[in-house]
């Protein structure tokens, strides 16, 4: 029974919960059994709250807490994972930082409160880099999280624990955050799906950067219909977040079920050679996007001019670090990892003129993207510049044979979309010759989550890659080819690599 339940998609499990064919408590126990089986090999859910989950399950079974049972996104007692950046009342929440090693919040984050009101049961906290800053999931509190497709490789960051928990069948849905690709790249590396919603679609609640559109909360899942279901759970107006707005009249789950093929698709693998993307990744993605043509879609090579958007992102991102980390830099500098210190100090050194330039550059790029969407329904790129790399590296050393000086060389595919505030979903599209997952990033116009999810759902139906999950963790080795693999077999220690990090 346990093996059957963990292999079902979330939508089917919720349907069975609604019909009374399975109970919330049975699901908690099924998840607990699976976690005990696979967790030692991957370290995805370092903090569990099984007793708390059992209490919640019994409460739902007794008829309590069902006030929103008719609302879109009702989960009916489905266990979920919450990223360790996000507070859960009474559950150890460290933010991946030794500063908060023993922190236990009294109140849950507003997005967790919403998930629990909609029938989700929190079963554990998923691992994250320190304060979500990093493209590989590790921290001094809990250590490394490993990719289940090859446990010698990273799962990406910073929602790495959530992606691994999904891929291995420990949970059916996982909550995460995204600033420079933190829902999209881990999803790609683990062959699951992750959505960066438009700012304001999902509450950020207690964040200090409440008026910044850079970092967002969002869902991760194994299938696109599951992703749409969880977005319905999360979406809506929240008085604690001034950017939020009402959920749509048509739930995302229904929009995905009724999705029609997009008419015109813009695709680029590397923005006309402006970005470095591994050759095999380009080839796999270029072949994959052409599958839309079988649905009658027109696929055209096209990309907006990037301008100086990579540099602008670094400037705006550094300012984000100042808001989030300046006070901790003053009081706990010795306990902050070097990436965070460097990024915060870079922000403190910037001038108002420099920030103004970055905002103007962002606005100009957004206008070019708006022009793209006047001609095309969706914009598609690879969702990561490289496949998963060595778990002992902070970021890939090489992309397409070129050595990187900082992590942004491997992140601009995601970061550029972040600056547009457009929604983007990562969906698997195949595997490279070393068996590492590769994916597409599907971007839609602002607040067009239903469009992006609908296109991704149609693509997922054609590939069937979602049916390969969940998997048991697989040991492996790190590929040796610098030109394709973007890793080395003898990496320097983590503390010796680069200073850049991907926040949230």
Catalytic site includes residue 126: no
SS3 80: strand
Nearest to 282 by CA among 300, 299, 270: 270
Please identify which of the residues 83, 125, 144, 337 carries the catalytic annotation.
83
d(CA 413, CA 421): 14
Nearest to 114 by CA among 210, 237, 234, 239: 234
d(CA 291, CA 408): 30
* CB 191 within 8 Å of CB 438: no
Catalytic site includes residue 144: no
> C-alpha distances in angstroms, 27 versus 30, 43, 225?
5, 21, 20
d(CA 399, CA 386): 6
445: which residues sit within 8 A by CB, 6+ positions away? Answer: 370, 373, 422, 451
378-382/437-443 β-pairing: antiparallel
Q: Which helix (H) or strand (E) holds 124?
A: strand 120-126
Give phi and psi for 323, each to the nearest 5. -60, -45
Please identify which of the residues 108, 136, 152, 158 carries the catalytic annotation.
158
The Cα angle at residue 346 between residues 341 and 348, in degrees rounded to 5: 95
d(CA 61, CA 67): 13
* CB 454 within 8 Å of CB 255: yes
Catalytic site includes residue 182: yes
d(CA 39, CA 36): 6
* CB 437 within 8 Å of CB 189: yes
Q: Is 13 left (phi over 0), alpha (psi -120 to 50) or beta?
A: alpha
Please identify which of the residues 136, 152, 182, 411 carries the catalytic annotation.
182
Extract the tokens encoding 152.
């010698």
DSSP lists the bridge partners of residue 79 as: 121
DSSP lists the bridge partners of residue 80 as: 122, 173
78: which residues sit within 8 A by CB, 6+ positions away? Answer: 10, 13, 14, 17, 24, 27, 119, 120, 121, 172, 173
How crowded is the C-beta side of 276, counted as CA atoms within 13 Å?
20
Active site residues: 83, 158, 182
């Amino acid at each position: 029974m346990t093996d059957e339940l963990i292999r079902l998609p979330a939508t089917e499990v919720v349907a069975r919960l609604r019909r009374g064919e399975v109970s919330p408590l049975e699901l908690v126990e099924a998840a607990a059994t699976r976690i005990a089986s696979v967790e030692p090999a991957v370290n995805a859910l370092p903090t569990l709250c099984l007793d708390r989950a059992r209490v919640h399950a019994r409460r739902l079974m007794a008829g309590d807490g069902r006030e929103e049972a008719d609302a879109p996104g009702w989960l009916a007692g489905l266990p979920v994972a919450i990223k360790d950046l996000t507070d859960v009342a009474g559950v150890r929440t460290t933010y991946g930082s030794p500063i908060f090693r023993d922190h236990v919040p009294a109140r849950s984050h507003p997005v967790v409160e919403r998930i629990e009101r909609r029938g989700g049961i929190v079963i554990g906290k998923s691992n994250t880099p320190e304060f979500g800053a990093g493209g590989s999931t590790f921290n001094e509190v809990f250590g490394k999280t490993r990719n289940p497709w090859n446990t010698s490789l990273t799962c990406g960051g910073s929602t790495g624990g959530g992606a691994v928990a999904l891929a291995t069948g420990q949970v059916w849905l996982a909550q995460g955050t995204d600033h420079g690709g933190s829902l999209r790249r881990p999803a790609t590396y683990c062959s699951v799906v992750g959505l960066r919603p438009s700012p304001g679609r999902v509450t950020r609640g207690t964040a200090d950067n409440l008026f910044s559109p850079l970092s967002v909360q969002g869902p991760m899942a194994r299938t696109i219909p599951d992703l749409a279901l969880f977005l319905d759970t999360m979406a809506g107006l929240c008085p604690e977040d001034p950017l939020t707005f009402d959920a749509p009249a048509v739930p995302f789950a229904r929009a995905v079920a009724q999705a029609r093929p997009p008419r015109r698709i813009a695709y680029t693998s590397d923005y006309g050679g402006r970005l470095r993307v591994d050759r095999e990744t380009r080839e796999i993605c270029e072949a994959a996007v052409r599958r839309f043509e079988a649905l009658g879609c027109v696929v055209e090579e096209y990309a907006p001019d990037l301008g100086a958007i990579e540099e602008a992102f670094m400037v705006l991102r550094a300012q984000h670090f100042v808001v989030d980390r300046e006070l901790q830099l003053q009081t706990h500098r010795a306990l902050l990892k070097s990436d965070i210190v460097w990024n915060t100090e870079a922000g403190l050194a910037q001038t108002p003129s420099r920030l103004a330039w970055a905002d103007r550059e962002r606005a100009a790029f957004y206008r070019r993207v708006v022009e793209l969407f006047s001609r095309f329904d969706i914009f598609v790129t690879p969702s990561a510049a490289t496949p998963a790399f060595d778990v002992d590296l902070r970021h890939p050393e090489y992309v397409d044979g070129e050595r990187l000086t900082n992590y942004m060389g491997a992140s601009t595919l995601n970061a550029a979309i972040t600056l547009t505030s457009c929604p983007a979903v990562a969906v698997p599209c195949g595997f490279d010759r070393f068996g590492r997952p590769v994916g597409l990033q599907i971007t839609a116009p602002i607040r067009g989550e239903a469009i992006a999810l609908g296109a991704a759902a149609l693509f997922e139906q054609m590939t069937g890659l979602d049916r390969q999950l969940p998997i048991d963790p697989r040991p492996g080795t790190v590929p040796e080819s610098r030109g394709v693999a973007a890793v080395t077999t003898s990496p320097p220690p983590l503390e010796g690599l680069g200073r850049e990090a991907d926040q949230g």
